[in-house]
Amino acid sequence: MNANFLKETVERNRADGSRGIYSVCSAHRLVIEASMQQAKTDGSPLLVEATCNQVNHEGGYTGMTPSDFCQYVLDIAKEVGFSEDDLILGGDHLGPNPWTSLPAAEAMEAAKTMVADYVAAGFSKIHLDASMACADDVAPLSDEVIAERATILCAAAEAAIDDSKVPPMYIIGTEVPVPGGAQEDLHELATTNIDDLKQTINTHKEKFNQSGLQSAWERVIGVVVQPGVEFDHAMVIGYQPEKAQELSKTILDIENLVYEAHSTDYQTETALSNLVRDHFAILKVGPGLTYAAREALFALSYIEQEWITNKPLSNLRQVLEQQMLENPKNWAKYYTGTEQEQAFARKYSFSDRSRYYWADPKVDESVQTLINNLTEQPAPMTLLSQFMPLQYAAFRAGTLNNDPLSLARHWIQEVVSTYARASGLAKK
């Protein structure tokens, strides 16, 4: 796996802001396939990341351990003909977050096991995030406590390094956006304070050095900050470069680091390019890609509804809604308002809580029925034009096959390609 590309990206970004890398934070098969197709077209590496809630030693909400996820991604790479040598795996928000209902000592023991398992499985980019308060903590945690816990996690990671693998690169940072989109008032969004940034970096460096982790500190390549971008259920705050210029310049005064920008979902290509230029070199995207997958599958379901008359339909949109209603834990506390407003959000919210339901057996069965129906009876050009106009144009140009999986991947790849171009990775 191409871990050295991360270091090269940092060096080039610090030199002239011309190169970055996008991070695909998703376990959705179609998203990973489409991202691999884009990277394969560009001849570039691909960074795929899993979060602590999604994948951990207890299975996470995907049911996968770190080694399971690694094998899952490698299997997809083999199927689509993407080289393992061009794949980079990362672990995101690795810390006690899945166990914050426990006392800190217990939560940290679980987090240490998880981080070690990520490294042992071959993940080469590790985000150490100990910013979440546990059951017996007083919130918010101080920089001192966060850095101390991150250092403990780093020591566990270092102890798990296999001599046959390249040691992992690390990301630090306490100003971590809420995974999956904000819930606060976005009108008050501010960029990271410079003094807070320096405090975070200096405290982490001090704790690493005190713990004999100097060599690990040399592999810290990025820090998570807030560049002034975010999204919620219905709104996107676009990057405003003029508000982040002091932040952009400050990182060049700190040796060997760039910024990692979370919640870049739904940013325009111009905004993404400006982020990379301003040394927010690692662009994280997750819900924006599963949202695109949902859009594509919904478009195919509308085609199916109009076109298939001689066999049972998938009823995908209805099945997804029913499963979300029967199992509300992944959306109920996020979507408020009237029943109509909640129903709308379940389908169309930018935070895309529906992404938690694609692995549900009934939803998956419905997707397979949809794929089978439109594979056996391909959509007519008229319906492609109506519901999937970009895919229709590509089909007419002879660059895309008219089969449902190709159509869906192409839809997602249209989003991935904006990140590839903004990062300087797209083939010219």
Per-residue pLDDT at 179 exceeds 70: no
- The H helix count followed by the E strand count for the chain is 16, 10
The residue from 246, 264, 285 where one domain ends is 285
Residues 301 and 269 both lie in one domain: no
Q: Give percent of the chain with pLDDT exceeding 70.
A: 96
> Considering the domain boundaries, does residue 423 fall inside one?
no
> Considering the domain boundaries, does residue 260 fall inside one?
yes
Q: List the one residue out of 51, 43, 95, 44 whose CA is nearest residue 69.
A: 51
Q: Do 139 and 133 touch, CB atoms closer than 8 A?
A: yes
Return the SS3 of 197. helix
Q: Residue 10's domain is classified under what CATH number?
A: 3.20.20.70
DSSP per-residue letters across 287-306: HHHHHHHHHHHHHHHHHHHH
Q: List the one residue out of 375, 364, 400 whose CA is nearest residue 303.
A: 375
Per-residue pLDDT at 178 exceeds 80: no
Per-residue pLDDT at 69 exceeds 60: yes
DSSP 212: T
The residue-averaged pLDDT of 326-344 equals 97
The residue-averaged pLDDT of 41-56 equals 97
Return the SS3 of 285. strand
Which residue matches tokens 């109509």?
A: 340
Query: Which pLDDT score is estimated for 182?
Result: 47
DSSP per-residue letters across 78-139: HHHT--GGGEEEEEEEESSGGGTTS-HHHHHHHHHHHHHHHHHHT--EEEE---S--TTPPS
Residues 275 and 366 both lie in one domain: no
Residues 348 and 226 both lie in one domain: no
Q: Do 419 and 17 touch, CB atoms closer than 8 A?
A: no
Q: Do 221 and 267 touch, CB atoms closer than 8 A?
A: no
Residues 32 and 87 both lie in one domain: yes
Q: Give percent of the chain with pLDDT exceeding 90.
A: 93
The pLDDT mean for the chain works out to 95
Query: Which pLDDT score is estimated for 45?
Result: 97
Per-residue pLDDT at 185 exceeds 60: no
Residues 357 and 227 both lie in one domain: no
Q: What pLDDT, in 10s, does the model give residues 265-313? A: 999 999 999 999 999 999 999 999 999 999 999 999 999 999 999 999 9
Residues 217 and 320 both lie in one domain: no
The residue-averaged pLDDT of 339-361 equals 97
Residues 321 and 218 both lie in one domain: no
The residue-averaged pLDDT of 150-167 equals 93
Residues 169 and 230 both lie in one domain: yes
> Considering the domain boundaries, does residue 424 fall inside one?
no
Helix H or strand E segment including 152: helix 143-159
Domains in the chain: how many in total?
2
Q: pTM for the complete prediction?
A: 0.96
Query: Which pLDDT score is estimated for 251?
Result: 98
Residues 110 and 244 both lie in one domain: yes
> Considering the domain boundaries, does residue 195 fall inside one?
yes
Q: Give φ, ψ of 354 to 5 degrees.
A: -65, -15
Q: What pLDDT, in 10s, does the model give residues 380-414? A: 999 999 999 999 999 999 999 999 999 999 999 99
> Considering the domain boundaries, does residue 420 fall inside one?
no
Residue 119 CA to residue 215 CA, distance in Å, equals 16
> Considering the domain boundaries, does residue 124 fall inside one?
yes
Overall residue count recorded for the chain in this entry = 428
The residue from 244, 268, 285 where one domain ends is 285
Return the SS3 of 335. coil
Residues 89 and 155 both lie in one domain: yes
Domain that holds residue 395: 290-415
Q: Residue 377's domain is classified under what CATH number?
A: 1.10.400.20
> Considering the domain boundaries, does residue 32 fall inside one?
yes
Per-residue pLDDT at 184 exceeds 60: no
Per-residue pLDDT at 256 exceeds 60: yes
Residues 298 and 274 both lie in one domain: no
Q: Residue 382 is encoded by which pair of tokens?
A: 């008229």
